A and B are shown apart, each in its own frame.
Chain A
Amino acid sequence: MALPLPAFVAKRRPDWDALQALLGRQKAGALKLEELRTLDSLYRRAASDLAHTQTFYPGTDAHRFLNQLCGQAYAAIYQPPRERWPAVRDFFRKDFPVTLRRELRFVGASAALFCLGLLLGALVVLWEPRGAELLVPPGMRQYVAQGRMWTDDILSVAPPNSVASGIATNNLTVTIVTFALGMLGGLGTIYMLVNNGVHIGAISALCIREGMTRGFLDFIAAHGPVELSIIVIAGGAGLMVGQALIDPGELPRGQALSLRGREAVKLVLGCAPFLALIGVVEGYVSPGSLFPTWVKAGLGLSLGVLFWGYLLRAGSSEAVRTGAPADSAS
């Protein structure tokens, strides 16, 4: 017959208190090697006490206490490897591009959806000019009607850096939302991709109709390739999530979701620094006439090539993949 509960608690409690104190010190990061050994043996003892209470005193506070104590010790002992700077470097050197190459079909599907939106928007405006009233924000329409770029004015009213920061945060929001909406079975991501495509398509078609092709290209050339690529990649990540939700394969849906989610977020996290970079380009280089068009176009193209070159080549030992990365960029 087991001890009565109070006697059991009184007998074992010193060990538990010691374990609790050690866990507190472990959290503070002030644990010595000797104490680490003690922690281990105390944890094992607490675990066996927990098994004991599970059998003899289930549902009591002592049981709950031990449960929690062991839970904390378990979390302290079985820690996942810590992410540190080398891990970050490895992530960008290898993990991110490799993941992207593995999931290239999702990025492709996302690019296709985006292009579909682009075509739709452009066709609507080209065929039916009044469609522009629906698809292009009124502010922009006014500028275009006057034959000016809306960005010319942004620049003269506000200095370029506030434009840059506004653009950067806007792009971040679009990227995050495009990815996160994948949780709605991928429908949200598809909507975001097509919607953004339609808008951009409509605006460009409007500019072309009004004979402002040059101005529009001038504005979009420097940052367009990379920025649209990033949105397409975030869309690909969203589609991955949606796919795991709809067709989890052989895993239970919950597991498939968390597995794919961890892969998908790598794409989004990997894009973040590039997004910040391209925000700076969009704010400083793109608007106005500080730089001639050919410089902008050259910069945009080379950035696009660099970006996709990095994505498709980095981290692979057998860098065989060639092709035209630039045209898949937009």
Chain B
Amino acid sequence: MRTAPSPHLDVATPERVALTLPVAGIGYRCLAWLVDAGLLFFFWIVTYFVFTLLVSDVLGVLQALSGLARTLLVVGLFATQWLYWTVGEVFFHGQTVGKRVLGIRVVRMDGSPVGLFESAVRNLCRAVDFLPMLYAAGCISMLLTRQHRRLGDLLAGTLLVREERIDLDKYTATSATTAEPLQGATRALTPGEVELVLAFLARAGGLAPQVRQRMGEKLVDRVGGLSGDERAAVLASPERTEAFLRARARAEG
């Protein structure tokens, strides 16, 4: 019944329930990094242009700044590049902007949120993950470890989990046409079959007509237990087929 084994994080909660969180792979992580890096890049570009728009004599203003202010400015610029990640992860529940966009989150190995130290470790280690260029070391490490962790994650004891958008509506959706009384149905469906039927129903609207027809027929044969006239009646139109399938999936017991 299990779907294809993908890397996951097993967490044992005090409630004695085992959580299985899906781990974000290298693709998600690269995309999230691109979003973050792009954001930082454009932030500086925009800041620069706004500054030049507001102030005509940029060099003059910079030179007019007091020494301390200028030092703070340069150190501040530098620190922003390093602090951005840690601030995001500590204060926004393990998510920088890019991670939020991609729906991934940094957690400790036991599934709890990251603290300051973990986040600092994994982000300081960007220096070594980046080596020799463009996170090559980090990527190799992600490919080699089972849970796609880069060197910084290994050192900090963290990893990234994925948050999926799961729609429960398909379970509770009711068809427009009221279900006809079921004939011939006696056997209870397994959860896997229910899932299969519901997945089909959720997508049926977008399928090509003959595919819709063919798959509906296969499913009716699999879950219906109908024969002869009844089967022909159910298969007469896609709407009737799907109404039957929906009723079948929702059938009690």
User: What residues make up the interface of A, taking CB atoms closer than 8 Å to B?
Assistant: 1, 3-7, 9-10, 13, 16, 27, 43-44, 47-48, 50-51, 54, 56-62, 64-65, 67-68, 70-72, 74-75, 78-80, 83, 159-162, 164-166, 168-169, 172-173, 176-177, 179-181, 183-184, 188, 241, 254-255, 257-259, 261-262, 264-266, 268-269, 276, 279-280, 283-284
Contacts and interface: CB of A to CB of B under 8 A. Distances in A.
Contacts of B20: 67
4 shortest interchain CB distances as A-B pairs: A258-B157, A165-B74, A161-B67, A261-B155
Contacts of A58: 1-2, 191
B160 interface: no
B128 A180 contact: yes
Given A60-B195, A255-B157, 11 more contacts: A6-B194, A6-B249, A67-B19, A71-B111, A75-B113, A181-B128, A183-B154, A241-B155, A254-B157, A261-B121, A261-B156
A128 B167 CA distance: 74
A262 B121 contact: yes
A280 B70 CA distance: 11
B75 A71 contact: no
Contacts of B170: 61
A47 B198 CA distance: 24
Nearest to B249: A6
A79 B151 contact: no
Contacts of A57: 191, 195
Interface string B143-156: 00000000110111
Contact of A6 (B75, B78, B171, B188): B171
B194 A4 contact: yes
Nearest to A258: B157
Contacts of A61: 166-168, 170, 195
Contacts of A258: 109, 118, 154-158
B157 A262 contact: yes
Interface residues of B, number: 70
Interface of B: 1-3, 11, 13-21, 66-68, 70-71, 73-75, 78-79, 82, 90, 93, 107, 109, 111-113, 115-118, 120-121, 124-128, 151-152, 154-158, 161, 163-164, 166-168, 170-172, 188-189, 191-192, 194-195, 198, 249-253
A72 B78 CA distance: 34
A59 B2 contact: yes
Contacts of A51: 16-17
Nearest to B69: A161
A5 B115 contact: no
7 contacts: A54-B18, A59-B191, A71-B111, A75-B113, A172-B78, A176-B82, A265-B121
A60 B75 contact: no
A78 B191 contact: no
Contacts of B2: 58-59
Contact of B70 (A1, A62, A165, A176): A165
B156 A262 contact: yes
Contacts of B167: 61
Contacts of A241: 155
Contacts of A169: 74-75, 78
A4 B253 contact: yes
A188 B107 CA distance: 28
A259 to B, nearest CB: 8
A261 B128 contact: no
Q: Which of B68, B74, B126 has the most CB of A within 10 A?
A: B74
Contacts of A27: 93
Contacts of B11: 71, 74
A115 to B, nearest CB: 24
A70 B250 contact: no
